[in-house]
Structure 1
Amino acid sequence: MKTLYLVVFALLAPLSVQAKQLWQIQAEQGVFASPLAHQDKLYLANGNTLWALDRQGKTLWQQSLSAQARSTPAITNQTLLVHTEQGLQAFNLHGLPLWQHKSSDGPRRVNGESWGWGQGNVIDPWSWYRSSVTLSNGIAYYGSQTGTYAVRVSDGQRLWQQYTGTTHTQPAVSQDVVVVGSWNNHLYGLNAQNGAILWQLESPLPQGELGGWDGWQGFNLNPVISGDYVYVGSRSTWFFKLGLKDGREAWSTKHASSWIGSAAIVHKDHVYYGLSDGLALIGQHRQSGNIEHLVRAPHLIFATPVLVGEQLYFATLSGELFSYQPSSRELTKRYQTQSSQTHYQKHVQQGGGPNYQPLDPSLSVHQASIKQVTEMLEDMDSIVSLSSANGVLYLGLAGGRLLAWQP
């Protein structure tokens, strides 16, 4: 286990909140999944609609989906693939349906008693993301409530299914290994050809006063493969570096009382990821596991950081976008949603972190908790997804806007 050996706080550069917005569109729902940039077009799956846009944000066509989608599309050999709650749908690049592979998906459910919400399984108000598709050698891999699937792209034929519990992470595929994370608190390495389980890792969970809450359980973040290693965090407060072939731990780090908030990005000698209640962007040395960058943030980080040139960009649920230069350790605020500016004092504590509003006494505790989280996201127009292509950043906002932004 690697702990925090070196902490270097970012030097605050003068704040710059002037927006360099290129365009925006209003989608049906919160843009929790980033668009796919392919050649001169963008493809966005949101709600029950698949969009094709040009790089200026003009809608080229729309196609109805059989069910709701919260996934980034994928393209191979002129076939466009989208994972929905009813399975995998294939289209040509003009939006005409080709085939559908059926499976079942939907929101994660949790033990209501564990969360203080009463008996029964209820929807987790923090589990917004779903599995996107990963393509490799003519095969589409994706996860759902019923496990992990491999589907032949040419005709939609199922090649295998492995029950890995509710699997909402995008599979990472390399060297004939498929790595997926599950809400059952296990990370799996699967044989890419037949789905056989090669290895699995169960994350340790907090104990003592923090123990017993099933909110600590779950590999809910997309694993990242770099070379012979897998980098992944979980709700259990742990971040891991594991061997790709055998799942053996190279190093791991525990963060006190904080979910790992975002999936990781590997850049040069470091791996970077965001914390939720830890309110920071973390940079660990890939070889040693030492924490060499700890960049304080005003709020929870759920969107995966992205790299544009030598600048790392990360976003918070407070509706703010930041750039961080690892070499100089300069942190600059680049953008803030208008809703965030309006409601900032209501939802952000003075020292940073969420200022949760009182629960609505007219609702059940679970319903009031969902309303509490939803109100925060909507009032702040939280940035819930982040991606880049050709030097342009795409911000997915909880209010349903997709915003193109020029660094």
Structure 2
Amino acid sequence: MKYSYLIAVLIILFGINNSIVFGQQQNGGTVSAFQNRVFKGDNYKPLGDLKWVFKTNGKIFSSPIVHDGIVYIGSEDGNLYAIHEKTGKIFWKFKTGGAVHSSPAIFNNMVYIGSFDGYYYAIDSKNGHLKWKFKTGGEKWFGEISFLGLKPVDQYMDDLWDFFLSSPVINPDKQNPSVFFGSSDGNVYALNANTGELKWKFETKGSIHCSPVLYKNTLYIGSWDANLYALDIETGKEHWKFETGTKIGFKGIESTVAIANDMVYFGARDPFLFALNAVTGKLVWKYDVAHSWIISSAVVDNGVVYVGTSDTFALLGLDAKSGKELFRFKANGYVYSSPAIVGDTVYFGDFTGNFFAVNTKSLGKEWNSFSTENRKLFASEILNNNFIDFSYAAKGADLSFYDINKTVMDRFYKLGSIVSSPFVANNTVYFGSADGNCYAIGLQSKK
């Protein structure tokens, strides 16, 4: 029975086929890739012309932010890049000792970022010089022996769908500013944002790769132990925790929460999107995404919760009060990129290297898209009728083996998969891709 169940899990995951949240916070001079990703604007603004492309030497899972004319983004090549917003030319780069899958935050002319080398860094935004660094207990991909029951059964395996490191969020208190983040060592950390001195840490029972969100003096963050935690931002004391499902293959929280009107929204692998009371942690509603992980982080705008799904390839729009599905837009592959919203337009990418602009007022019927150059080159070779199909991409190889699954993921990355989430500034949308590029695309105005 156990073997049959695990094979069923594999079929579900591979056969059918990333608030307040991801976004922008500019209160008190801070900007974060992980606060509410809703930007000012109106009407539908489809994608226009490509403005520039900046090439790094590694896959990009980090999400960009734009501040004072500079785009900041991390790369798997170990660098944090500062790029001129208008030209796409490099301003500076900062080298860490590991892949930078974390997304940056900015406060008081400092850029904060985490790296797989086990450090979180504060870097001078004007020149790229180190201000301080803080060593965690170590950063790593989540993994386990025989992940998802894959063979060989005695081998330790990295989770192939664990894309991110926790990204810092700032509490911009003038007298005592703090920076918060989670770690693969299972701890939530609170540091002095100016000095890097530890204020407190809170231990969970699993790696933490999603990012914290601050709301009314409470910090909300999920863990691979399948719990969402609400913590006091001054002391780290637990207010409450909410447990999600723990079945094999359907356990863990990767998405960052969205908060609106005293409600917390987040997805899990179990596989549901949850709506909780922000004060009590009590469940208000949950939405079943049909055996599809939610790694994308939700965004709430005008009473609608927008979130991407994995195996159903969908961007969903749900009523924020009831969880009722209002619309569904089908992409060409897994939607791990978290959406950004400008007026009536939602922007997001998919795992096939397509980036979409969808008119929310049309219930997903009006849209346009941009494809990475690699997608244009390799889609016919890798995709099945333009859609992700794990079995098709495996070319008959045995998907019960971990190495075969890794090979298939590498084939998908060849398309320029988009896991990075978009940032919108000055009528331009910015995002990263597994092809190593940061893209800047202009937006059209359409009445």
**Pairwise same-fold verdict (TM > 0.5):** yes
Unmatched 5+ stretches in structure 1: 1-16, 206-211
Q: Match of 1:43?
A: 72
Q: Is the 8 A contact 2:399 2:405 kept in 1?
A: no
Q: Match of 1:182?
A: 223
Q: Match of 1:262?
A: 296
Name the CA distance, whole Å, in 1 between partners of 2:81 and 2:119: 18
Spell out, residue by residue over 1:173-197, the C-alpha distance to the aligned partner (whole angstroms, 9 max, x if none): 1111111111111111111111122
Q: Is the 8 A contact 1:346 1:355 kept in 2?
A: no
Question: Share of identical aligned residues, percent?
Answer: 25
Q: Is the 8 A contact 1:152 1:158 kept in 2?
A: yes
Shift of 1:345: 3.3
Shift of 1:363: 12
Name which of 78, 81, 84 aligns with 1:54.
Answer: 84
Q: Is the 8 A contact 2:191 2:199 kept in 1?
A: yes
Q: Is the 8 A contact 1:279 1:300 kept in 2?
A: yes
Name which of 238, 252, 259 aligns with 1:225.
Answer: 259
Q: Is the 8 A contact 2:64 2:431 kept in 1?
A: no
Q: Is the 8 A contact 1:173 1:225 kept in 2?
A: no
More displaced stretch, 133-142 vs 195-204: 195-204
Shift of 1:354: 2.3
Q: Match of 2:51?
A: 22
Distance 1:389 1:362, change over 3 A: same
Instruction: Please give the secondary structure, in 1, of the residue aligned with 2:132.
Output: strand
Runs of 4+ in 1 over 6 A off after TM superposition: 359-364
Instruction: Please give the secondary structure, in 1, of the residue aligned with 2:240.
Output: strand
Name the CA distance, whole Å, in 1 between partners of 2:397 and 2:270: 31
5 Å-filtered alignment, 1:207-356, equals 212-213=247-248, 215-329=249-363, 330-350=365-385, 352-356=387-391
Q: Is the 8 A contact 1:182 1:218 kept in 2?
A: yes
Name the CA distance, whole Å, in 2 between partners of 1:352 and 1:171: 33
Name which of 69, 92, 108 aligns with 1:77.
Answer: 108
RMSD (CA atoms): 2.2
Tell me the number of residue pairs that the alignment of Structure 1 and Structure 2 aligns: 383
Q: Match of 1:202?
A: 243
Name the CA distance, whole Å, in 1 between partners of 2:235 and 2:61: 31
Distance 1:106 1:316, change over 3 A: same
Name the CA distance, whole Å, in 2 between partners of 1:267 and 1:44: 25
Q: Is the 8 A contact 1:319 1:381 kept in 2?
A: yes
Q: Is the 8 A contact 1:79 1:90 kept in 2?
A: yes
Q: Match of 1:63?
A: 94
Q: Match of 1:394?
A: 430
Q: Match of 1:14?
A: none
Q: Is the 8 A contact 1:359 1:372 kept in 2?
A: no
More displaced stretch, 301-310 vs 265-274: 301-310
Name which of 385, 388, 394 aligns with 2:420.
Answer: 385
Q: Match of 1:403?
A: 439
Instruction: Please give the secondary structure, in 2, of the residue aligned with 1:273.
Output: strand
Instruction: Please give the secondary structure, in 1, of the residue aligned with 2:63.
Output: coil
Whose RCO is larger (CA < 8 A, sep 6+)? Answer: 2
Normalised by the length of structure 1, the TM-score is 0.89
Name the CA distance, whole Å, in 1 between partners of 2:147 and 2:134: 36
Unmatched 5+ stretches in structure 2: 1-45
Name which of 115, 123, 130 aligns with 2:158.
Answer: 123
Which protein has the bigger strand share? Answer: 1
Q: Is the 8 A contact 1:261 1:275 kept in 2?
A: yes
Normalised by the length of structure 2, the TM-score is 0.81
Q: Match of 2:193?
A: 153
Aligned: 1:170 with 2:211: yes
Name which of 182, 192, 211 aligns with 1:143.
Answer: 182
